[in-house]
Amino acid sequence: MTSICFQSVSQEGHLMFGFTQKTETKNTADVQLDTMKAILDHVDNMILLCDTSHENNVFYVNQTAKAVFEKYRQEMTQVLRGADPSTAHGGSIHRFHHNPERVRRILQDLGSGAKNATHVADIPLGSITLRTKAYPIWDAADPSKVKCYLACWEDITSKVKHEELQKNVASKADELHEQVSYIAATMEEVSTSIDEVAHTTAEASTRGNSAFESANEGQVVVEGAVRGMRDVATLVRTTAGVIGQLNTQSDKIGVIVGVIKDIADQTNLLALNAAIEAARAGDTGRGFAVVADEVRKLSERTAKATAEIGELIRSIQIEIERAVGTMNSGEKDVTTGEEKAISAEKALVRIVQDVGAMRNLIGEISSASEQQASSVRDIAQRLEVITSQQP
């Protein structure tokens, strides 16, 4: 009696079997081979059996293989150069091979090798990928003879896509790691730049404070100068008024001197007339003549002194007039200087205000730069943590 033993290789998910010879009855072996085929129809893997002829004709295709071939018939036919996989039964298995001779050598190697020899190959067929494992089935009556070849096909499309997805994810992760590393390095550079900006802004803030203090001091000085110019202007105006009054008084003195001169001239004339009358009177008028002569001399001296005073007064008047002209011109210059000093004071006030506003802005920029530097450093640290956690 001939029995068929089935052995399951669970770690590979394939069904292997062999013949055990107890009685040599060919018909019985064929019957049990049919039984084996019936059993293989219920296996989830795709199973094909081909003979040992040169063409290795397929004499069995299980139901799972038929269903898969029918499902992907159009796609597989295009990939297999027009060979229809649904017609595999009864034809040469090499219809589906790009290099039949290579496959024949593989089968021959399986038939001449170890009893547990196996050939494994992953075959992409369009959008699907099948993993094929080929086994030699040994004749139990003659253990050195191959009864047939079994091809077990497993649909590993999902597995391949998963592996490709993993590779893609790993590649993207590497790219992400590189990008994150680049961003981290860039953030470090940005952090350094912001630190430099913050440092420069802090220096600018210090200089702005110094400029503000200097502007305030300058404002105080200009305010003092303006007050001094106003005092000078007041003094010049007062002096001009006094000199003007002095000029008026000198004019009055000139008038008085003129009156005195007229009186002296009149007195001299009267003294001359008195001397003439005394001369006419003879000895009687001699004493009067002496007095008249003295009066005449006195009037002459008075006239001379008055003339000198007049000359002096005229010189004083000339100098006063010159001083008045100078004072008037000086008053105009002082007024102009006062106006310019006031304008300078107003301009300096605006400068102080602008410097103060600039100082406040620089302070805000400095504070913002420090906050940005702190934020960038925090981001850089977080990116460094992310990159260190990458595989």
Q: What percent of the chain has pLDDT over 70?
A: 89
Summarised one tens digit per residue, pLDDT across range 172-219 is: 777 777 777 777 777 777 778 777 777 787 777 787 788 778 878 877
The model carries a pTM of 0.42
Summarised one tens digit per residue, pLDDT across range 343-360 is: 877 887 888 788 788 778
DSSP string, 126-162: TTEEEEEEEEEEE-SSSTTSEEEEEEEEEE-HHHHHH
The distance in angstroms from the start CA to the end CA of the chain is: 62
Cβ atoms of 134 and 151 closer than 8 Å: yes
The per-residue pLDDT for 391 is 59
Provide the residue count of the chain. Answer: 391
Query: pLDDT averaged over consecutive 10-residue blocks of the chain (391 residues)?
Result: 33 38 53 79 89 92 89 83 82 86 90 80 84 87 86 87 86 76 75 76 78 78 77 75 76 78 78 77 73 77 80 80 76 78 81 81 78 79 72 59
Cα angle, residue 351 at apex, residues 347 and 355 outer, rounded to 5°: 175
> What tokens appear for 60 in the block?
């069995």
Cβ atoms of 150 and 45 closer than 8 Å: no
Cβ atoms of 357 and 351 closer than 8 Å: no
The per-residue pLDDT for 289 is 72
> What tokens appear for 327 in the block?
């004072």
Domains defined along the chain, listed by start:
3-155 (3.30.450.20), 177-389 (1.10.287.950)
Rounded to whole angstroms, the Cα distance separating 171 from 175 reads: 6
DSSP string, 294-361: HHHHHHHHHHHHHHHHHHHHHHHHHHHHHHHHHHHHHHHHHHHHHHHHHHHHHHHHHHHHHHHHHHHH
CB atoms within 10 A of CB 318: 11
The per-residue pLDDT for 149 is 92
The dihedrals phi and psi of 149, each to the nearest 5 degrees, come to: -120, 140
The per-residue pLDDT for 308 is 80
